[in-house]
Chains A and B, each alone.
Chain A
């Protein structure tokens, strides 16, 4: 359950409030975070602080707006002696990921961060990281890809890497960025796969909000012990990693990788439950708020904006936030879509020439498996590229179209771009 009501005490009677508090506590979600414990930090600072308390061994990173503050803050912690991490100043993101792979294969707990062009530059090594089963955690402050150069938030960068075999999690705000970074290490090390923690560039990365932090000793108990696998580089006299593999066996490696990727979903769910015991905050692969026969599916910060608008305006809309994007939580999404007659999928990235945007494409694949009689009408919208805001007027129009389609059974408005000048 992802209840919003409990946070507006003035709107509830005391008795109803108590009942809701009991339910949310049972769901593992603390409904009275002590306000005095909230510390002001930006999304980037939150990620750096989370990585700081995870006992990271190696950070190899290169700065790029809007992620720069993550590595700046982290390098300050290293320079001041607050943490013992080997900080490698590399000359590009390609080297950052290469160094990360090397360190990870030697058994180190590795963290790095990038955005946009940086993620694009390290693209070939992303596949090496996942193919070599390195449990690297990387924060990506999602930013538009050039050209033209744009430093603002959209999902083009991480969507461009969605096939690279990295687990992808999307965070809505600074608190989620903090919590997800910590959970990422546990998931990565359990399944031996790299994990990408995404937060919206500028919108989350540079937005200061109140964050409830966890102390280092608690995190140490939450995270697994450091890995000392039998296959560490240097431990054996003769060992190659990522060597040539001919058609006779390559395919089986990829099958194992795909199996590991699917294991990420139960791993995320279990980690989330453990994290809820540690912090009082619980997270799901797919989160639903509100109710209605029209649904909006989106990711990251936009979900919070839409959820608030729906709650405060009394709209009858289901707001479905996809938090775990890779592996795609098909089963959870199908459950969330029960009884829904129209679905509007918001994509903050454009897959040029594709029938729909990336998230839209995955949702449609899931929906195709449903019997035609219960399959909802679907509209895919590409919005917000280059940091363009989806304003309340445009959102109201989207809601209105969603309701119309739920009544009539099909959308009369096309899928396509919303918010761009004609």
Chain B
């Protein structure tokens, strides 16, 4: 990832952060869509929110990071997120990149995987087999939206109602309904490691 050898030594800051979420995926997997869906749902909930991507080389398959901030107060910071409160890994092949994500013991890490054991990850790990859910519901590995369901279960960052309105607004008709079923199933199935 660009510039990751310049990870800053974080001094203890006294300022209050909004909830900061980082997403790890590959180009083409819908990281940006997931982030923006989360922000739109948060706005519907009456919260303030930001969604912003970070691309390296802009191409399908290259690692992509997405970020969200959610707060009940207006958010004026625009710098990068160095120590997210939550990290969502939508592609399990990117687990090795977690060591560059500023994890702490209290960071919640939600990983899309069917493995029973995920070693070497600092933080409170949760897993959900979003790929299986996506294949079952869509017939295709569209696992970004189910990860939203898992995120909501773990953090309660937005309401399921707002998420439903946003996702069915983004993908109309049958696709919208399927997306929400996938979200609901991941919401049920995500579990701590």
Kindly supply a per-residue 1/0 record for chain B positions 1-14, scoring 1 wherever the CB is within 8 Å of any chain A CB and 0 otherwise: 00100101111011
User: Are A389 and B43 touching (Cβ within 8 A)?
Assistant: no
Inside 8 A of B74's CB, which chain A residues have their CB?
A: 7
Q: List 26 A-B contacts (CB under 8 A).
A: A35-B43, A35-B47, A38-B43, A65-B58, A172-B76, A202-B52, A207-B51, A207-B52, A208-B35, A208-B36, A208-B51, A209-B75, A210-B48, A302-B79, A304-B78, A309-B15, A312-B16, A313-B13, A313-B15, A391-B82, A392-B8, A392-B11, A392-B79, A393-B8, A393-B10, A393-B11
- Across the two chains, which residue of chain A brings its CB closest to B35? A208
User: Are A173 and B10 touching (Cβ within 8 A)?
Assistant: no
What CA separation (Å) do A7 and B82 show in the bound complex?
25
- Across the two chains, which residue of chain B brings its CB closest to A303? B76
Chain A proximity of B147: nearest CB distance (Å):
18
5 smallest beta-carbon distances between A and B, as pairs: A312-B15, A304-B76, A301-B78, A207-B52, A40-B40
User: Are A393 and B9 touching (Cβ within 8 A)?
Assistant: yes
Q: How large is the interface on B (under 10, 10 to 19, 20 to 34, 35 or more residues)?
A: 20 to 34
Chain B proximity of A342: nearest CB distance (Å):
21
Which residues of A, 378-393, contact B by the 8 Å Cβ criterion? 388-393
User: Are A208 and B15 touching (Cβ within 8 A)?
Assistant: no
- Across the two chains, which residue of chain B brings its CB closest to A395? B79
What CA separation (Å) do A293 and B144 show in the bound complex?
49
B77 interface residue (CB < 8 Å to A): yes
A203 interface residue (CB < 8 Å to B): yes
User: Are A210 and B43 touching (Cβ within 8 A)?
Assistant: yes
B113 interface residue (CB < 8 Å to A): no
Inside 8 A of A39's CB, which chain B residues have their CB?
A: 43
Inside 8 A of A305's CB, which chain B residues have their CB?
A: 76-79
Contacts A40-B43, A302-B78 given; does A203 touch B15 at CB 8 Å: no
Contacts A36-B46, A208-B36, A210-B48 given; does A308 touch B77 at CB 8 Å: yes
- Across the two chains, which residue of chain B brings its CB closest to A389? B80
- Across the two chains, which residue of chain B brings its CB closest to A4? B76
B30 interface residue (CB < 8 Å to A): no
Binding site for B on A (CB under 8 A): 7-8, 35-36, 38-40, 65, 151, 172-173, 200, 202-204, 206-210, 301-302, 304-305, 307-309, 311-314, 388-394, 396, 421
B50 interface residue (CB < 8 Å to A): yes
B73 interface residue (CB < 8 Å to A): yes
The 8 Å CB contact of A206, one of B9, B52, B75, is B52
Query: What 6 new A-B contacts, CB under 8 Å, besides A208-B52, A209-B49, A302-B78?
Result: A151-B58, A173-B78, A209-B50, A311-B15, A312-B16, A390-B79
What CA separation (Å) do A124 and B154 show in the bound complex?
55
Contacts A208-B36, A393-B11 given; does A200 touch B76 at CB 8 Å: no
Inside 8 A of A313's CB, which chain B residues have their CB?
A: 13-15
Inside 8 A of B78's CB, which chain A residues have their CB?
A: 172-173, 200, 203-204, 207, 301-302, 304-305
Most buried by A among B16, B36, B74, B75: B74
Kindly supply a per-residue 1/0 record for chain B positions 48-89, scoring 1 wherever the CB is within 8 Å of any chain A CB and 0 otherwise: 111111000010000000000000011111111010000000
B145 interface residue (CB < 8 Å to A): no
User: Are A389 and B79 touching (Cβ within 8 A)?
Assistant: yes
Chain B proximity of A400: nearest CB distance (Å):
11
Contacts A40-B39, A209-B49, A394-B8 given; does A312 touch B76 at CB 8 Å: no
User: Are A207 and B79 touching (Cβ within 8 A)?
Assistant: no
- Across the two chains, which residue of chain A brings its CB closest to B44? A36
Inside 8 A of A36's CB, which chain B residues have their CB?
A: 44, 46
What CA separation (Å) do A151 and B56 show in the bound complex?
10
Chain A proximity of B62: nearest CB distance (Å):
14
Inside 8 A of A311's CB, which chain B residues have their CB?
A: 15
What CA separation (Å) do A377 and B23 show in the bound complex?
43
- Across the two chains, which residue of chain A brings its CB closest to B67? A207
Chain A proximity of B178: nearest CB distance (Å):
22
Inside 8 A of A172's CB, which chain B residues have their CB?
A: 76, 78
Inside 8 A of A389's CB, which chain B residues have their CB?
A: 79-80
Inside 8 A of A206's CB, which chain B residues have their CB?
A: 52-53
Which residues of B, 78-124, contact A by the 8 Å Cβ criterion? 78-80, 82
Inside 8 A of B50's CB, which chain A residues have their CB?
A: 207-209
What CA separation (Å) do A277 and B34 show in the bound complex?
37
Most buried by B among A151, A209, A388, A421: A209
Inside 8 A of A388's CB, which chain B residues have their CB?
A: 3
What CA separation (Å) do A36 and B165 show in the bound complex?
14
User: Are A314 and B49 touching (Cβ within 8 A)?
Assistant: no
- Across the two chains, which residue of chain A brings its CB closest to B40? A40
Inside 8 A of B58's CB, which chain A residues have their CB?
A: 65, 151
Chain A proximity of B134: nearest CB distance (Å):
24
User: Are A421 and B6 touching (Cβ within 8 A)?
Assistant: yes
What CA separation (Å) do A11 and B186 show in the bound complex?
37
What CA separation (Å) do A35 and B43 show in the bound complex?
7
Inside 8 A of B35's CB, which chain A residues have their CB?
A: 208
Chain B proximity of A139: nearest CB distance (Å):
18
User: Are B36 and A40 touching (Cβ within 8 A)?
Assistant: yes
Inside 8 A of B44's CB, which chain A residues have their CB?
A: 36
Chain A proximity of B21: nearest CB distance (Å):
13
What CA separation (Å) do A193 and B51 show in the bound complex?
35
Inside 8 A of A301's CB, which chain B residues have their CB?
A: 78
Inside 8 A of A302's CB, which chain B residues have their CB?
A: 78-79
What CA separation (Å) do A389 and B2 show in the bound complex?
12
